[in-house]
Amino acid sequence: MVGVTDALPTAVRQARVVEEVGHRPWPMPEGQWVMAQTWDELLFAHWPVDIDQLRPLIPAGLELQAYDGAAWLGVTPFALQGLRLRGVPPAPYLSDFFELNVRTYVTAEGKPGIWFFSLDASSRFAVAAARRTYHLPYFFARMSRSRDAAGFQHRSARNGARFSGRYAPTGPDAPAAAGTLEHFLTERYCLYAEENGCLYRAEIHHPPWPLQPAEAEIAENTMGPAGVELAPTEPSLLHYARRQDVVVWRANPV
């Protein structure tokens, strides 16, 4: 259902996310956020993975987290729009593009967060900027995205890492209940990155995820990190989110 805030400009919606903080697992970061973005029509596709298979791929200083005895690996295709710095409107031609991320779940110093194995984007500008400022493994990829009565079709390809799939929501949205697997996978308020032996954390904030059950048909998926095979196995868990407005703080050494 379209909410009242849908009629607001993207920058206004983004700035207002800091008004809702009661769901956070720790207090809001000190200082001001520096970047905002909006994620549209996102799929969370998750697979359970043997802990011993992923643990060697996680840098020192981070603890790989598990749920019900398994680590979890997520593939998340979506459309990004409204990318901007604080106090600056989105730049034409630079602020809207497609992304596909591969992630797992880690913690350090009592702050559960996200570890990205890769972040593919259809914008060379975004790839260069994110690598420089957030030390993240961004890659430029050729992407296409379309929508029809059956849902969203997302394709991504670069250097042997390929994804092609269709997905669609199948039910109403609701926030994930605390303690559930859905909550464990989605309600995280920082990301971790590593460069030249230095571990970084960037705090993020957004409202609780409006998760909907989803269906997907994945035709090709070679996005798993080295030694982790995801295709042709279908995801064990699928969720869809129509939109999420997000603000991000600077990345700081852990």
Say how many C-beta atoms besides its own lie within 10 A of residue 184's C-beta.
Answer: 18
pLDDT over 70, % of the chain: 97
SS3 label, residue 165: strand
- How many Å apart are CA 133 and CA 142, to the nearest integer? 23
* Secondary structure element (H or E) that encloses residue 10, with its range: helix 10-16
**Residue whose pair of structure tokens reads 């029809």 in the numeric block:** 148
Could you read off the pLDDT of 29-59 as tens digits, one per residue? Answer: 999 999 999 999 999 999 999 999 999 999 9
- How far is the C-alpha of 126 from the C-alpha of 118, rounded, in Å? 14
Domain 4-20+43-253 classified CATH 3.40.190?
no
Mean pLDDT, all residues of the chain: 94
What's the pTM value of the predicted model, to 2 decimals?
Answer: 0.94
pLDDT at 235: 86
Mean pLDDT over 200-214 rounds to 98
Cβ neighbours of 32 (radius 10 Å)? 11
- Residue given tokens 């957004």 in the structure block: 206
- State the average pLDDT over residues 103-127: 97
Domain limits, the chain: 4-20+43-253
**163: pLDDT strictly greater than 70:** yes
Q: Rounded to whole angstroms, how far apart are CA atoms 213 and 217?
A: 14
Q: Binning pLDDT at 50, 70 and 90, where does residue 5 land?
A: low
**Confidence at residue 93, expressed as pLDDT on a 0 to 100 scale:** 80
Q: Do residues 46 and 21 make contact, with C-beta atoms less than 8 angstroms apart?
A: no
